[in-house]
Structure 1
Amino acid sequence: MLRSSLASQKRRLTRVSNNAVKTSLFTPKPTAFKLKNATASHALPTTLARSYSTRSTVIQLLNNIGSKREVEQYLKYFTSVSSQQFAVIKVGGAIITQNLDELASCLAFLYHVGLYPIVLHGTGPQINELLEAEGVEPAYEDGIRITDEKTMAVVRKCFLEQNLKLVTRLEKMGVPARPITAGVFSADYLEKDKYKLVGKIQGVNKSPIEASIQAGALPILTSLAETPSGQILNVNADVAAGELARVFEPLKIVYLNEKGGIINGNTGEKISAINLDEEFDGLMKESWVKYGTKLKIKEIRDLLMHLPRSSSVAIINVDDLQKELFTDSGAGTLIRRGYRLLTRNSLAEFSEPELLRKALQRDPEIQAGKLSVASYLRELESSSFKSYGDEPLEVLAIVKNATEKTANVPVLDKFLASKAGWLNNVSDNIFTAVKKDFDSLQWVVREDDPNANWYFSKSDGSYNKNGYILFWFGVNNSKAVSELIANFDAKYSRIPKQSQESSSVFKSQQQVRAFSTFRRTSLTTVGIRSYSTQIKDNAPKREGTNKSVSKVALIGARGFTGQNLIKMIDNHPYLELSHVSSRELEGTKLEGYTKKEIIYDNLQFEDIKRLEERNEVDIWVMALPNGVCKPFVEAIESAKSSKSKIIDLSADYRFDTTGEWTYGLPELASREAISNAKKISNPGCYATGAQVAIKPLVPYISGVPSIFGVSGYSGAGTKPSPKNDIKNLSNNLIPYSLTDHIHEREISSQLGTEVAFSPHVAQWFQGISHTINIPLKEPLTSRDIRNLYQETYQDEQLIQVSGEAPLVRDISGKHGVVVGGFAVNAKQDRVVVVATIDNLLKGAATQCLQNINLALGYGEYEGIPDDTVIRG
């Protein structure tokens, strides 16, 4: 299982913590659980109001790590138990030395959302340094430090210093913390003759920890123990953390270390999750599981066997603490007991029918009364299926085998998970088991399913209609995909469209624990939304004055851009297609256009001239390959009275020097010039994203910005080539035209500064990611640069400025550009900016529609779906 890490977390947490000190964000407060019933900060006493406000601020910051759903879900989960049962966090000694600010920031975050972890730290590296400084060689036996009286003096000094260092850092951030360096662990000698002053814990005194939490302070512990007579003994910090966990039975036991998890010795990759009941025996047989790794896994298993199944162990890097705790995707290695997964091929194999009935009652169709459990069970009796589930059926998946009626693709008929199943990621285990058995699969969920984003992450493609979403994976044949969609359309076209106002799909971004990287294709312009449906409140509405219907002729309608533009014109209140031209599709019906029946033409020079002379077209759109457009433009202009306007989506006229063509990038060019232009050259997809990402910094540039661009394979068009061959792209990244690409010239000419551009194509379907290095001629901070971008684009509805580097998976199906990152190097002479854009939408079809609207006098955003307009 692979889980994504948050590479920029360290920078952001450090930045937040530093800013917090300056703005008094982290102010002292009483126990945060008293704020649960507060409804408005102005109704609270001053201290409580400040605390409530602080908690809200921190939750907003957490929302940048995961979705609002995830954050609220996990907060509710963690606050469902007493304060001391939230988490035990064991901190490696090296982290206090090397990552003190990051650690303190993480703990401050938890404190300000009302969570009180029990923190226990080690101090191994510091002890070794002090011993070496005094000329003492550290001695170990069976991995245990031999602690004589001289070593114990160093150990005790080190523990006290490191404990005070962490407590002091927290207090400076306004987070109450209590040093607890003794009085918790009672112990006997492990083996006095062999290990000297090393202890074996016999008991844990909870009182000092509980008193600290009741006083509203984080307890910060060392792993020193005492004998009944008062002799201090050294105890391994991992062992001490385990003993704390046995006493408090927390939801989480967290081990913070530098590696950030357990590494698979064969692949070199971090293991995302281990389900002990299912995987322990197999892991112990792996050749790379030996020595310390084997001991660690065994110790964790022994610990979890004595804790509730809801408890889990996480081994992570300090930078990823929030991500591990508050997102489904996690960050390091998650270890839990889990349950063994069972498969069944008939109803008779379910030993507890009531568990099956209980699981089926989670189905939305059954809950809505559209289907009864009994009738579905009867349906299963006559079906060929395979079911997957854990022992208590917290998650149940039922896959019906492929038939001709299902386009010979198996159907995931039910995927039903309880809240515990989602929280404990049993759902991921089940889905992985399904994928092992089935090379291809299709399934349908409601658009308002709160876990719809999770299903997106598991799919290769999706298509939505009337409030339902069809997903599939492993279906790489376009004919098979078309058949799936046709069957889906036939079933759901008569179902009234669900209201999307309450749809969480279009309101939040959800990350998941993923077992593999995925490629998402989409045959719809509306995908999962990461942004609110509202547009910027203060942005100019740019409403047009034209309310009459205009006719659009589309030349080259077969490609992906043409298809997306057709869909938006179909939903436009004032535009109608009059003609679509495609040599290959001549004579066939245009599918998906509902305003009237359109048959593909193969328009020739004389046909175009005749249509122009009869004023049958108001605007021509050329969706043709580069170098093909000129004859069509000449045909239009040869008409006796040429009144229509022209938009060219190719690169043929982007370098026009005659003044006849206007470059149509509304956010950076003159909207007035576009409105008055007769001929408009639509910018390239790569070029649009790069220009938006670089433009605000042009006055500050020193040298040549370098652009590393990666596009989904839809950017390679529909004509078969190695760049859109799914098999060739699988687990691959293909560089091409590494110098002198036409977009390099386009970006340079429009910005007025030379750039270096290297394009690549990857295995996803649509969406571009740019990573851009920009040399600076004067020092600028990350905050300065972000403010500059926010000011530049504050009125632009289709450009979002983010503090974090945007992800390409979140832009697919969106109609704008997201710019973020703004990472400045230590010398402050270089900034890295990241931009994402959907190459088929804002990179082509959406931008074309903006230009059509401006050229014909409509509102600039007419016909662009509101549910995918980016919000600032």
Structure 2
Amino acid sequence: MSQMRTTIVRLLSNMASAKEISLYLKRFARMDAARFAVVKVGGAVLRDDLDALVSSLAFLQQVGLTPIVLHGAGPQLDEHCAAAGIAKRALDGLRVTPPETLAVVRRVLLSENLRLVEALQAAGVRATSIQSGVFEVEVLDPDRYGLVGKVIAVHTPGIRAAIGVGSIPVIASLGETGGGQILNINADWAASELVKELQPYKIVFLTGTGGLLDGDGRLIDSINLGSQYEALMGAAWLHSGMRVKIEQIHDLLMQLPPSSSVSITRPDELAKELFTHRGSGTLVRRGERIEQHTGWNALDRTRIAALIESGFGRRLAADYFEATQPWRVFVSEHYRAALLLTREVFAGGELVPHLDKFAVAHDAQGEGLGRAAWQAMRASVPRLFWRSRPDNPVNEFYLEQADGCIKSERWNVYWYGLESLAAIGQAVDHCRARPASLKEHCHA
């Protein structure tokens, strides 16, 4: 038990506040156990990060959660096929699988499945090996791909039986035809079909890179398919492997509710991804379009007010809409995130953008929708200042986005793009003098 406590302390130290963790635990506790999370584990993770994976899964079980784990074994298959003198061939992102390759695929996948289950059990984690019976398949194109299957049905009784006794199902990405023929199936495709069937709250892909990388090798922290997909697919730096991955995720999310998302992260960041708003790695979400308006006329004020009051837990001043003249309003298509900007007069008549409200609905927190709305705003607003209460949990995010911050007992003042000390001073003076527009202890 002391080892388990050490694991939990180590994982918790990587997270944010206890309030965030409690929020997610309560949210997960209210749902069907089989809909908590599907975690797809790449073969490189099994090879290189098994200990970190086991520790993260042990933590989830310790707090009463049971993820469904599906794994591949790509690097291991490459190694064993090479040792057997079988050349690797791939078409359209799929491993061409003649009979001699299928024998290796089956042996290696079953071996890796048992290795993970045994490692979990050795750490005191209840885990169940599921090597067949989940993915019913038919041969995709025998002349082109060989013994590669296309999933036509997903059967979950074995998965639900394991979850029912608190055991983590560990599923090998092998398919079986109605006549009992074993076929190789792409692990990402298998994960997609499993997700469509179970509709889990969280979908996590664990990889060695910990996320998707841009053309300069930097981690992409979030992708909003609703507003970024076409531009992303047209990017010159997007290589074929990543293109296939993003297309698969896009096709998957288009069949799920708008709030759905896929997280790509490392095994040691799994708990952070599940239990904090900020998460880790790359968050790919179906997302919502972010619309831009220049006044109240085209907006539903009732929905804007409900969003702000829900997000802050305080009521707006009765005259807020009459007293506030927006310069720009950035709002998601379903009114689940919004940024309200005014322009304030500085010395010499200069008009400087000011963030008056930034609100995200409770059920959208953790999706990355707020960050997507912020990015849309930032792309068209080169300078900005705003204020926040010192105890606002969003302040960490604000610090990341700001060029600077001046703190006081009542307000923190943030800015980016202000080029002179005089402008910064005026921003601070304005924020300190501006009356509050939320009743009682507001956060904006």
Q: TM-score, normalised by structure 1?
A: 0.48
SS in 1 for 2:352: coil
State how far apart, in whole Å, the 2-side matches of 1:474 and 1:72 are: 36
Give the SS at the match of 2:413.
Answer: strand
**Partner deviation per Cα, 1:284-305 (whole Å, 9 max, x = no partner):** 2111224222222111111001
1:305 equivalent in structure 2: 254
Shift of 1:223: 1.0
Q: Which residue of structure 2 aligns with residue 388 of structure 1?
A: 330
Partner of 1:376: 320
Pair 225,460 (structure 1): closer, same or farther in 2 beyond 3 Å:
same
Counterpart of 2:354 in structure 1 is: 411
User: Is residue 237 of structure 1 aligned with residue 198 of structure 2?
Assistant: no
1:34-183 alignment, distance < 5 Å: 58=8, 61-183=11-133
Cα pair 1:251 1:310 within 8 Å, conserved: no
1:272 corresponds to which of 207, 210, 221: 221
Whether the aligned pair in 1 keeps the contact of 2:77 and 2:108 (CA below 8 Å) is: yes
Alignment of 1:307-706 (within 5 A): 307-350=256-299, 352-362=300-310, 367=315, 371-372=317-318, 375-380=319-324, 383=325, 385-404=327-346, 408-490=351-433
Q: Over aligned residue pairs, what C-alpha RMSD do you find?
A: 2.7
Cα distance in 2 between the residues matched to 1:422 and 1:63: 21
Question: Per the alignment, do residues 361 and 257 of structure 1 end up closer, same or farther by CA in structure 2, a change over 3 Å counting?
Answer: closer
- Map 1:836-847; keep pairs closer than 5 Å: none
Alignment of 1:7-46 (within 5 A): 23=2, 25-26=3-4
Aligned-residue offset at 1:244: 0.4
Superposed CA deviations along residues 219-278 of structure 1, whole A, max 9, x for unmatched, are: 00001111111111111111111110000111222222222222212x221211110010
SS of match in other structure, 1:120 = strand
2:241 is matched with 292
Deviation at 1:282, TM superposition (A): 0.9
Partner deviation per Cα, 1:540-590 (whole Å, 9 max, x = no partner) = xxxxxxxxxxxxxxxxxxxxxxxxxxxxxxxxxxxxxxxxxxxxxxxxxxx
C-alpha contact 1:58 1:113 (8 A) present in aligned 2 = no
Residue identity matched to 2:162: S
Q: 1:407 to 1:362 in 2, by over 3 A?
A: farther
Answer yes or no: is the 8 Å Cα contact 1:407–1:484 preserved in 2: no
Which of the pair has more CA radius of gyration? 1
SS for the counterpart of 1:74 is: helix
Report the CA distance shift for 1:64/1:356 in structure 2 as closer, same or farther (over 3 A).
closer
TM-score, normalised to structure 2, is: 0.90
Give me the whole-angstrom Cα distance separating, in 2, the residues matched to 1:169 and 1:60.
19
Question: Could you report, residue by residue, the CA deviation over 1:377-407 in whole angstroms, capped at 9, with x for unpaired residues?
Answer: 2224xx3511111011211211111313797
Quick check: 1:465–1:489 contact (8 Å CA) kept in 2?
A: no
Residue 187 (structure 1) shift:
0.8
Cα separation, 2, equivalents of 1:424 and 1:219 = 26
Contact 2:311 2:360 in 1 (8 A): no
The structure where helix makes up a greater share of residues is: 2
Query: Secondary structure of 2:344's match?
Result: coil
Q: Distance in 2 between matches of 1:95 and 1:136?
A: 24
**Letter in structure 2 aligned against 1:359:** L
Q: Is the 2:135–2:151 Cα contact (8 Å) retained in structure 1?
A: yes
Question: Which amino acid in 1 is paired with 2:306?
Answer: K
Q: Which has the higher contact order (CA 8 A, sep 6+)?
A: 2
- Give the Cα–Cα distance (whole angstroms) in 1 for the partners of residues 248 and 83 of structure 2: 33
Amino acid at match of 1:356: I
Q: Which moved more, 1:229-238 or 1:62-71?
A: 62-71
Q: Is the 8 A contact 2:258 2:288 kept in 1?
A: no
- 1:521-543 CA distances to partner (integer Å, 9 max, x unpaired)? xxxxxxxxxxxxxxxxxxxxxxx
Q: Which runs of 5+ in 1 are unaligned?
A: 1-19, 27-53, 505-872
Any conservation in 1 of the 2:386–2:431 contact (CA below 8 Å)? no
* Contact 1:448/1:467, CA 8 A, preserved across alignment: no
Structure 2 unaligned spans of 5+: none
CA contact (8 A) 1:88 1:252 kept: yes
How many positions carry a matched residue from both structures? 439
Change (3 A) 1:247 1:378: same
Q: What is the identity percentage for the equivalent residue pairs of Structure 1 and Structure 2?
A: 36
Q: Distance in 1 between matches of 2:295 and 2:142?
A: 61
Aligned to 1:685: none
- The one-letter code matched in structure 2 to 1:318 is P
Of the structure 1 ranges 105-114 and 427-436, higher mean CA displacement relative to structure 2 is found in: 427-436
- Measured against aligned partners, the alpha-carbon deviations of 1:417-469 in whole angstroms (never above 9, x if no partner) come to 21133321222122222223333222222333343333333333333445333
**Equivalent runs, 1:638-787 vs 2, <5 Å:** none
Q: Determine the C-alpha separation between the residues in 2 that align with 1:413 and 1:123.
A: 50
